[in-house]
Structure 1
Amino acid sequence: MDAIIRVHRLDGKEFVVNADLIETVESTPDTVLSLVSGRKLVVAESVDEVIERVVAFNRSRALPARLEPPAPSPAGRAGAVVTRERDAGRS
């Protein structure tokens, strides 16, 4: 999934930006997003609002990874070794 955030042009029209492509955000006094491609976008949101949206999106994107169950432990292999050692001792 792309890192899409919603922002507004100065005329109020909404559009979306891939937050992963934002290189800098500056206030000149309008908020200008400079993308890695060199393109510049002027948005109605403040610098702080853009930062909050990017951070919120990144947190939401990272959340599912934290909720995944842990990978099974390799206890089965260690158990097999212990069983073999016990079996070897009985001979």
Structure 2
Amino acid sequence: MIELTKLNGTPFVVNAELIEIIEATPDTVITLINGRKMMVKETVDEVVKKAVDYKKLITNVY
């Protein structure tokens, strides 16, 4: 799970395993594997880093 921020400033947590697409439109839009889309304040690079860090944490890869 990774913590992100909605455009209104509200933090929320999303399952990083469910992220299918991350786009900059220019706002960052995340599409989950179920088709749900959400816009976040973080940049594409920040979301990718959080997802990669999460994956490393759960698989013990450093």
- TM-score bracket, normalised by the shorter chain, equals over 0.9
Aligned residue-pair number: 61
1:28-87 deviations in whole A, cap 9, x for unaligned?
Answer: 000000001011000000000000000000001111xx7xxxxxxxxxxxxxxxxxxxxx
C-alpha separation in 2, matches of 1:6 and 1:13: 10
Q: Larger % of helix: which?
A: 1
Q: Larger % of strand: which?
A: 2
What is the TM-score with the length of structure 2 in the denominator?
0.94
Deviation at 1:11, TM superposition (A): 1.1
Q: What runs of 5+ residues in structure 1 fail to find an aligned partner?
A: 67-91
Q: Is the aligned partner of 1:39 residue 2:36? A: yes
Q: Which residue of 2 aligns with 1:10?
A: 7
C-alpha separation in 2, matches of 1:7 and 1:20: 14
Q: Which residue of 2 aligns with 1:59?
A: 56
Q: What runs of 5+ residues in structure 2 fail to find an aligned partner?
A: none
Give the number of the structure with larger relative contact order, counting CA–CA contacts within 8 Å between residues 6 or more apart. Answer: 2
Task: Note the aligned Cα RMSD (angstroms).
Answer: 1.0
What is the TM-score with the length of structure 1 in the denominator?
0.65
C-alpha separation in 2, matches of 1:35 and 1:56: 18
Which amino acid in structure 1 is aligned with residue 3 of structure 2? R
